[in-house]
């Protein structure tokens, strides 16, 4: 997992926490009330959160595939 660009920003505690933070960030960015520097920082944080979510989903998908494979092997035995 990539670390956030700003070490003072925490790694999300969970997929759900990352999605929640991302939703809030998008809402703030869409309000057109952020200065350009904050917009750039928000974009970078959003990209990090999106990558975090994608990686977590890929991990869960791989785990589910292993479970399905194990179940299929058990049914054939």
Query: Is residue 27 domain-resident?
Result: yes
Do residues 53 and 18 make contact, with C-beta atoms less than 8 angstroms apart? yes
Each residue of 8-35: pLDDT tens digit?
Answer: 789 999 999 999 999 999 999 999 888 9
Task: Please answer whether residues 41 and 9 qualify as being in contact, where contact means their C-beta atoms are separated by less than 8 angstroms.
Answer: no
pLDDT digits (tens, 9 = 90+) for 36-55: 999 999 999 999 999 999 99
Range of the domain at 42: 15-76
Whether 2 is covered by a domain: the verdict is: no
Q: So what's the pLDDT on residue 6?
A: 65
Predicted structure pTM score: 0.79
Q: Residues near 10 by Cβ (< 8 Å), separated by ≥ 6? A: 4
In a domain? residue 33: yes
> Crossing angle, helix 36-76 and helix 15-30, to 10 degrees?
150
Looking at residue 47, which CATH number applies to its domain? 1.10.287
Rounded to whole angstroms, how far apart are CA atoms 8 and 66?
Answer: 36
Count of domains forming the chain: 1
Residue 7 in any domain: the answer is: no
């Amino acid at each position: 997992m990539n670390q956030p660009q700003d070490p003072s920003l925490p790694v999300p505690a969970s997929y759900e926490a990352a999605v929640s933070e991302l939703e809030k960030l998008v809402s703030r960015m869409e309000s057109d009330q952020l200065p350009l520097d904050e917009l750039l920082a928000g974009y970078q944080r959003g990209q990090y959160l999106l990558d975090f979510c994608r990686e977590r989903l890929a991990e869960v998908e791989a785990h589910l595939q292993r479970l399905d494979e194990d179940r299929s092997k058990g049914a054939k035995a």
